[in-house]
């Protein structure tokens, strides 16, 4: 049996989980890969925590388990890249700066397969890395970059090769989903739910990327490339986080038989792809409405095979590490030429979010004066928008809050309707109306 040697760069929560699984499952992995999958080196600046947390013998670490300076780490990286016996490098350092991009490219140029969970890197700088892999005929495994333990990437690249994906919708950030679940289930405010998420380890001390939609956006960019062959930058993607969701939104969602979720959505129609990451009011008839806590779920609608839903843990040390180990085994067994995306198209382009038709709920905060609902509905109707439902007014001191749910229309129509309201009654709106899509 031939050897298949790996090195791990970065041994934190995910990298440590990878090392633990590779060491504990050695016999099983050897059988599945048809080769001896051997952990040869781990690079970590401060390995003591990983040694204790994951029970990894110190001799696996560059430097024998002692803390390393950045200069020492750089020399060890060079040794790993020059080592002809190392077949694959796992990158779990994280980040998407020049250093990490150059490191990933260098791994490919060294003739080694690359496995990473780094969604930001692939979403923002993936083109150069995939090109380097193609030139050097090595593979890139990145299942763990999207929804952790859920096999989303392999499903698209392998299971759906005989079909055409029409739309993707999903909950791809566990932190935001946990917060929204607590707001819905426990009637918490946003700040209280965020604090609880941090206390329970679901949110970082700085939760910005999770709650502002950035993390979910990176994942959707990767899926858009795979499913539709379209390179989309983060600037081209419409992204809205959950920071603005409050108790009134939760109440309005309940009124229309829905739950609020941070949704990644992409749909291809007539050669154009509409894509967004934003809070949506998901109808309870849609399975995604019932996905609670930190769980992730991805929903595909295909031309021939119809509806598919993948559900599972989207983060966590062992969960994410298991996806990385699966990519290692795949590379060991038959991953040559697995460097390019096979769902490539040249006839698609991103469409302006303002022109895409979606049902929406518009929440108005107005002065508590007679006729405000009529003024709003009339202005909406003048833009050719059909109204589905109108909520009752929630009166709070000298103001009123109410919502109007529309049938499918464009954001351009809604913006024109709001402009019409401002023209008729400049004193009516106390804040910009909140516009949230409704997902059936």
For the chain, the structural domain boundaries read 3-149+318-334, 152-312+346-351, 357-439
Global confidence as pTM: 0.94
**From 20, 35, 119, 219, the catalytic residue:** 219
How many whole angstroms separate alpha carbon 85 and alpha carbon 87? Answer: 6
Are the C-beta atoms of residues 302 and 166 closer than 8 Å to each other? yes
Name the superfamily (CATH) of residues 357-439.
Answer: ACT domain (3.30.70.260)
Q: Which two tokens stand for residue 432?
A: 């910009």
Contacts 24+ apart (CB under 8 A), 368-371: 368/395, 368/397, 368/398, 368/399, 368/400, 369/428
Residue-wise pLDDT tens digits, 220-264: 999 999 999 999 999 999 999 999 999 999 999 999 999 999 999
Residue-wise pLDDT tens digits, 254-307: 999 999 999 999 999 989 999 999 999 999 999 999 999 999 999 999 999 999
For tokens 């990933």, name the residue: 104
Distance of CA 138 to the CA centre of its chain: 26
pLDDT at position 335: 64
Q: Which CATH number fits domain 152-312+346-351: 3.30.70.3270, 3.30.360.10, 3.40.50.150, 3.90.1150.10?
A: 3.30.360.10
pLDDT at position 256: 96
Name the superfamily (CATH) of residues 3-149+318-334.
Answer: NAD(P)-binding Rossmann-like Domain (3.40.50.720)
Residues of the chain with pLDDT under 50: 342-343
Q: Is 434 a catalytic residue?
A: no
Task: Report the 3 state secondary structure along 232-274.
Answer: CCHHHCEECCCCCCCHHHHHHHHHCCEEEEEEEEEEEECCEEE
pLDDT at position 336: 60
């Amino acid at each position: 049996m031939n050897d298949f040697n790996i090195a791990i760069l970065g041994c934190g929560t995910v990298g440590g989980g990878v090392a633990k699984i590779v060491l504990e499952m050695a016999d099983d992995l050897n059988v599945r890969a048809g080769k001896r999958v051997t952990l040869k080196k781990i690079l970590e600046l401060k390995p003591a925590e990983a040694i204790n947390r994951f029970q990894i013998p110190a001799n696996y670490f560059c430097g024998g388990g002692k803390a390393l300076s950045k200069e020492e780490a750089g020399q060890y990286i060079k040794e790993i890249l020059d080592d002809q016996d190392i077949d694959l490098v796992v990158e779990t350092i994280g980040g998407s700066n020049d250093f990490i991009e150059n490191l990933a490219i260098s791994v490919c140029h060294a003739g080694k397969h690359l496995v990473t969970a780094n969604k930001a890197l692939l979403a923002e700088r993936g083109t150069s890395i995939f090109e380097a892999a193609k030139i050097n005929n090595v593979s890139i495994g990145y299942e763990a970059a999207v929804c952790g333990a859920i096999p989303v990437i392999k499903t698209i690249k392998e299971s759906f090769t005989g079909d055409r994906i029409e739309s993707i919708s999903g909950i791809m950030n566990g932190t935001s989903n946990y917060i929204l679940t607590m707001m819905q289930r426990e009637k918490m405010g946003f700040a209280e739910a965020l604090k609880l998420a941090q206390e329970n380890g679901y949110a970082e001390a700085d939760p910005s990327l999770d709650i502002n939609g950035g993390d979910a956006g990176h994942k959707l960019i990767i899926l858009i490339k795979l499913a539709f062959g379209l390179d989309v930058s983060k600037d081209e993607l419409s992204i809205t986080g959950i920071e603005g969701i409050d108790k009134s939104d939760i109440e309005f969602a309940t009124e229309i038989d829905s739950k609020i979720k941070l949704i990644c959505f992409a749909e291809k129609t007539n050669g154009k792809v509409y894509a967004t990451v934003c809070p949506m009011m998901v109808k309870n008839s849609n399975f995604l409405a019932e996905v609670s806590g930190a769980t992730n779920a991805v929903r595909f609608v295909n031309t021939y095979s119809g509806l598919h839903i993948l559900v599972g843990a989207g983060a966590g040390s062992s969960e994410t590490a298991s996806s990385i180990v699966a990519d290692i085994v795949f590379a060991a067994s038959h991953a040559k030429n697995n460097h390019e995306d096979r769902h490539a198209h040249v006839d698609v382009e991103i469409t302006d979010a303002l022109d895409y038709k979606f049902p929406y709920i518009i929440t108005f905060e107005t002065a508590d004066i007679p006729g405000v609902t009529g003024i709003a509905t009339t202005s909406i109707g003048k833009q050719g928008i059909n109204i589905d439902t109108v909520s009752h007014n929630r009166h709070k001191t000298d103001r009123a809050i109410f919502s109007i749910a529309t049938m499918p229309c464009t954001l351009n129509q809604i913006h024109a309707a709001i402009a019409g309201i401002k023209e008729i009654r400049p004193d009516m709106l106390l804040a910009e109306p909140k516009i949230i899509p409704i997902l059936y």
